[in-house]
Amino acid sequence: MNLWQPLAANKMSDFLNEFLPVKEIAFTGSLLEPTTLDIFSDVDIKILLSGNSLLSMKNLVKMLSERFDKVFGFEVHNHDNSDVLRVCFENGWRFDLTVNPRLLESQEADISFYEKADKTINQFWFLALCVLGKLGRNDFLVAAHLMLELYQLNIVIQMLMRDEEKKTNIHRFGDGENIPVLHSFVPQKNHNISSQETKSEILNLLFNAAEHMDKISARICHEYTERSDKLVTLSRQFGFIT
């Protein structure tokens, strides 16, 4: 498979220069070390802005989806003077964009239920693609760690739904809730399994978590588009399944 990063880096650089007051763009990471570059590498870019240019995440995602493929998932890390946007697209491209000074409008502590849910959903799908990257490099430990985090994010959505229903995030007692995503875990009787079986197990759990996220997300957001099929397509594209 041809490496996609050089084309993606140039395309992102053009996008940034067109839409932002860019003073300097610097590529970092594996893009500068071609011998370490593989199809699972992301594109790391540091962007220095010449002035303030605050954007809403909704507008930024819209612009990225129009210029590239549709955004598959993302997560944001806010710092005092910078933002880090980690974003992936439906074609498998992934970017880590560090922007200084801050680019994204700060989210208030009392953001709505739907905004909290949307943030969690997009983080889920970004991490789902990261699991494929770790599997592709045979890092089963980190892949399993991230995969289990996806199950946690499914449960986070359920907790947000409960908070919205009861109009509080303080719960001394629960309601003995059913947690569908937990039913996926079947005890493994044979602990002496092969490396390939371990990879298949993680992949199957990943797909299962994705299907659960699709179901629960569709219940709370009418505009939500299911993505588990796209995750399977990307897995096939990366050679995990035939």
Rounded CA separation 224/212 (Å): 14
Angle at 83 between CA 30 and CA 158, to 5 degrees: 100
Beta strands in the chain (DSSP E): 22-28, 43-49, 71-78, 83-89, 94-100
Q: Give residue-wise pLDDT tens across range 87-133.
A: 999 999 999 999 998 888 776 556 889 989 999 999 999 999 999 99
Q: Give residue-wise pLDDT tens across range 2-46.
A: 799 999 999 999 999 998 889 999 999 999 988 899 999 999 999
* pLDDT at 105 (0 to 100): 77
Of the candidates 54, 62, 60, 63, which has an alpha carbon nearest to the alpha carbon of residue 223?
62
Task: Decide: pTM greater than 0.85.
Answer: yes
Q: Give residue-wise pLDDT tens across range 48-85.
A: 998 777 788 888 889 999 999 999 999 999 888 888 99
User: Domain locations in the chain?
Assistant: 5-100, 113-237
Q: Reply yes or no on whether the pLDDT at 185 is more than 80.
A: no
- Domain 113-237 coded CATH 1.20.120: yes
Please report the DSSP string for 43-109 in residue order. Answer: EEEEEEESS---B-HHHHHHHHHHHSSPEEEEEEEE-SS-EEEEEEETTS-EEEEEEES--BPPPPT
Quick one: fold of 5-100? Beta Polymerase; domain 2 (3.30.460)
Rounded CA separation 91/69 (Å): 6
DSSP 32: G
Mean pLDDT of 137-156: 94
